[in-house]
Structure formats: C-alpha cells, structure tokens
Structure 1
Amino acid sequence: MSDYIGLDVSLEDTHLCVVDGLGAVTARAVARTDPDDLAKVIRDLAPKVKTVVLETGGQSAWLQQGLEARGIPAVILDARQAKKALSGRLNKTDSNDAEGLAQLARTGWYREVLAKRPETRRIRAVLMARELLVRQRRDLSSQVRGLLRGFGLAVGRIGHAGFEARVRELAQAEPALLAALEPLLAVRRVLDRQLDALTRQLGAIARASDEARRLMTVPSVGVMTALGFITAIDQPHRFARSADVGAYLGLTSRRYQSGQVDWSGRISKQGDSLARSLLYEAANVLMTRVKRWTRQKAWAVRLAGRRGGAKARVALARKLAVMLHRIWVDGTTFNWANEPA
C-alpha cells in the first residue's frame, strides 16, 4: 500500500505526517527544515512513499527541488487551496496541518504549483530588491514632502533629479528644519546609488537573454517588464494556450455562479503581483506615451472611451501578457510592418 506524506514547513522545523492508502495515520515526526534531514526522516518513515506535499511559501521551491534531487517525489500545492481545505479542522496545529496535507496528497485534491528554476529565482531576487528600494525611496520622498508641508512649504511637481535641490531651496526659510531633513536626504542619495547599481545589473541580464531582448521589441515593454514577465512565467510551454496567461497573472475577472445568480466582478489579482503591476504600467505607457499607433493601442483607446481609462489599461495589460507569451513561445519579435499607419 502506498504512503503519502504532508509537510508543514516553518523556518526552523518541519512537521511530517504519514498516511496510508486508506487515510490512516501511520507515523508523525519533526525534522529540521533542510532537504538532507527531511529526506532521511522520510526514508525511515516511508521508504516507498508515493507523494510528499508541501504548501507554497518562501522555502518551498528550495525544499521541493532539494527533495527531488534526493529521489523523493515532492509536490508543491497552492497554499490558498490548502487553507480552505484545512479550515474545517477543529484545532489548528502544525501536526494537524501536516496530517491534512497528507490527506490532500492521498485524495489528489490539490493544484500543483511549479517550482521556479534556480536561475529564475536569482533574477527574481534582484528584481524584488530593486522594487523594495523603489518603494523605500518613494516613501522617504513622501515623508520629506510631509515635513515641509507642515511649515507651509510645497515641493510641487518636480523631477527626480531636481528633488533634493528643491528641498534645500525651500528649507532655507527654516534652518532648523534643514537639520532634520539632512539625514533623510543622505539616505535618499544612498538609495539612489543602490538603485542605479541594481538597474544596471538587470540591464546586463536582459541584454544577455535572448528571450528578454525579443520581448522588449513590443512597444512600452522595457527591461523590468520583460524580466518580471519571464520570472513570473519561468517555463512558457506549461501553458497550453497563451490566453491562459492572463488568468494566471490575475488579470481576468472573478466569476460567481450559483442557481439564478451569475455575475463577473473585478479582476482576481491572483498570481504574481510584480508582473501584474509592471504589465499595467506598460499598458499605461503604451496608451499615453508611445506616439506610434498599434492595433492594441487603438483597441485600448476605443475601450477607454466606453469603459474608462483604468479598465482599458487592465484589459490592455492582459493583451500584452498574451502577446508576450506568444512571442516567447514562437521565438518571434514584434512586427511593426503588420501594424496600421
């Protein structure tokens, strides 16, 4: 009889539960969160294990690939689905969660999640680091504006390069305020330098990638959007249809149907939030800054006249996702010759 194992992973320790083909619990254990330790415990508890499941999380890809490399058939399942399936249990403990995951593995009632390749995760780490610094710089600039506003001083609309000079100019009227702003401006300069370094690093990665260079032939798609899309999809051939990419990135509408009720709501916003936001920004750039017309831009502009700009940009972002996937799979580039004048 086959055995199934559920892993409830935490930062230091992982709870294991083994169930047989009939659902009876045959063993429980706790091991250090490390592929070597987990593989040893799994071999001792269930030498002929059929499936080992763990939820999506920060360490899931590392653990799954480590177990696979050691001959353990490990699968990652969607944490949202697992949460709903386990919510009916009376008591929530790590041990009970491990048992619930093992039962999901036995029944096969789960959605498998693909573990991204190590090289993809490395690029993703650089992208996320840059995104974090962008948010910190934006928050810091907002704090500086807020401090000045308390004294009736407004920075106004000004470019990134001239921000610090404008702040110093305004702060001359309040010398004591400049002493408070100086440390914030110094931190902002450090953020600028590190952001420039990460941006150059990502640019070098994109230039070395044939896929990224081809995706960047699409109008409004730059280095960040191309790499964000590549790291979100990772393996394009796992999608049978390019149209499925929009749903995968959370750019399709939710639907609820029960009895006589049937409605579609806002987009689901499931999946990769970074890739989704980058595609939305690319759609906005295509509609507002790219001067040359494409079929996609013309379609979005017409849609904006009927449904509003925000919905048009979301719809255009979905079209861009489908187009980028098709270009990636076919090995082609964007062809301006097929676009209207």
Structure 2
Amino acid sequence: MDSHALKILLVARAQLVAQRQTMANTIRGILKTYGLRIVRCSGGLFAPRVRDAIGENDVLMAVIEPLLIAWQALREQVAVLDTRVNARAKSDATVQRLMSVPGVGVIVALAFSATIDDPDRFKRSSSVGAYVGLTPRRYQSGEEDRVGRISRCGDALLRSYLFEAANVLLSRHPRECALKTWGLVMAKRIGMRRAKVAVARKIAVLLHTLWRNGDVFNWGNKADCAGALPAVA
C-alpha cells in the first residue's frame, strides 16, 4: 500500500469515526430531552445501556432504535478498517519504530508516515513542525515582535493526531520520560493547551529524527527534549 492509498484509508476511517460519534451524540441528545443520561462507557456497552435507559417507552424506542442500528453499522465498519490499519502497521518496520514514542499509537504513526512519505524531503527535522502547521506565526514590525497562533498549515488530520498524542502523553501516559517532564514544565509556564501544541510539535520533530536515523525512542535520553521551543498562542 503506497502513501496515497494509506492516506485515503486513514481519511475514510476518520470520517466513519466522526460519523459514529455524531450518531452517539444525537442519541444522547434525544435521551437528554427525556431526562435520561448515558454515562460514558466503552462502545460495546453503549447500545445496551441506551435500551435499558429507555425501558418500556415504545414511542422513544421507535425513534432511537434506527439510530442505534446506524451507530452499530458505523462501529462495525470502523472495525473493518481498523483491521486493515493494524495489518499495515505490523508489516511496516518504520511505523513500529515510530510507535516507540510515548503517546504515539498505530493511527498517529501511520498518519505521520503517509503524510511525510519520504524523510529525506526535510534536511532538518525541525522543519517538520512547520510543515504540519504546528509552529507559531511571528508578527514583526518596527515597534513590535510577537509570537501568534500556530499556522495550521499542512495536513489537518495529522495535526489533530499529533495533538492527541501530546494529550495522551501529558494527561494519561503512566510512565515518566524527559519528553513528558518537559511538557509539564511548559504547561506551568504557558498553560496546558499551549503546552500540548508545543509537545505535539516536539513529537513531530522527534518522529522524523527517529525515522531518518532508523532509531527507536530512548526513554532515558534527555537530548530528545533538549532546547526550548517558542511559546505558542
């Protein structure tokens, strides 16, 4: 599977995931008007909990059941594409190395691989942050020099995945590493959201470095996080 075909696969999966979430939100919204709330749960428990909450309200069930069927169909098709995605990741040594970075899973690694395609396109790994739109704009004039919001250039899907990888690393990853420590220090300085953007950019740069050098993430290597990144708005 070439990079173009892989990107199409990932975009298709992202669309199905988004539609599945939209359907679930629609169901939750309708139930809320009846005073019914469904607590957050794994996908396999969602439909049974919805049906249990509705109980014997046949009028409401007649509305919700078709939505549940559509939601389940979307869930099944996501699983079909996930099988293809996982098979692709297992067969790609580069993707396996990229997944050694904390917070980076199958989807992030594949999206990065498909978008960058050839690491030799970039002479410097630091250029990758700008390519995916994670570097801040700079505004300069005779009297002013300030850093603005990130450019949001490049592939929006990859950028969102890198941000989620940063979120996982800073918020949910159990193991400590220099990259996480650096991100948490940044969070105290500039706020958590802006720190996640900075860490996402750092992850992009790190992924390119590992890919180009054929290395895996070194948990004890403080050099992975050396150097301050500019604050982002």
TM, length-normalised to structure 2? 0.92
- For 1:250 and 1:299, the matched residues in 2 are separated by 21
> Could you say which residue in structure 2 is the equivalent of 1:242?
125
Instruction: Report the CA distance between 1:158 and its aligned residue.
Output: 2.5
Deviation digits for residues 49-105 of structure 1 (CA, Å, limit 9, x no counterpart): xxxxxxxxxxxxxxxxxxxxxxxxxxxxxxxxxxxxxxxxxxxxxxxxxxxxxxxxx
> Could you say which residue in structure 2 is the equivalent of 1:220?
103
Instruction: Report the CA distance between 1:306 and its aligned residue.
Output: 2.0
- For 2:156 and 2:165, the matched residues in 1 are separated by 14
- For 1:127 and 1:155, the matched residues in 2 are separated by 29
> Could you say which residue in structure 2 is the equivalent of 1:333?
216
- For 2:220 and 2:135, the matched residues in 1 are separated by 30
> Could you say which residue in structure 2 is the equivalent of 1:253?
136
Cα–Cα, structure 1 residues 313 and 258, in superposed 2: closer, same or farther, change >3 Å? same
2:194 is aligned with 1:305: no
Identity over aligned pairs, percent: 44
> Could you say which residue in structure 1 is the equivalent of 2:227?
none
- For 1:159 and 1:206, the matched residues in 2 are separated by 24
Instruction: Report the CA distance between 1:187 and its aligned residue.
Output: 0.8
Tell me if the contact between 2:104 and 2:165 (Cα under 8 Å) persists in the aligned partners.
yes
> Could you say which residue in structure 1 is the equivalent of 2:159?
276
State the secondary structure of the residue aligned to 1:189: helix
Please say which structure displays the higher CA radius of gyration.
1
- For 2:141 and 2:173, the matched residues in 1 are separated by 43
> Could you say which residue in structure 2 is the equivalent of 1:177?
60
Give unmatched runs, 5+ long, in structure 2.
224-233
2:65 is aligned with 1:161: no
- For 1:161 and 1:305, the matched residues in 2 are separated by 38
Q: Higher helix proportion, which one?
A: 2
State the secondary structure of the residue aligned to 1:162: helix
Give unmatched runs, 5+ long, in structure 1.
1-117
- For 1:242 and 1:178, the matched residues in 2 are separated by 54
Deviation digits for residues 122-151 of structure 1 (CA, Å, limit 9, x no counterpart): 001110000000000000001001111111
Q: Higher strand proportion, which one?
A: 1
- For 2:141 and 2:119, the matched residues in 1 are separated by 34
> Could you say which residue in structure 2 is the equivalent of 1:68?
none
2:210 is aligned with 1:323: no
Instruction: Report the CA distance between 1:198 and its aligned residue.
Output: 0.5
Deviation digits for residues 165-211 of structure 1 (CA, Å, limit 9, x no counterpart): 11101111522110111111011111111101101101111111111
| Structure with higher RCO (Cα < 8 A, 6+ apart) | 2
Cα–Cα, structure 1 residues 337 and 258, in superposed 2: closer, same or farther, change >3 Å? closer
> Could you say which residue in structure 2 is the equivalent of 1:127?
10
Deviation digits for residues 21-64 of structure 1 (CA, Å, limit 9, x no counterpart): xxxxxxxxxxxxxxxxxxxxxxxxxxxxxxxxxxxxxxxxxxxx
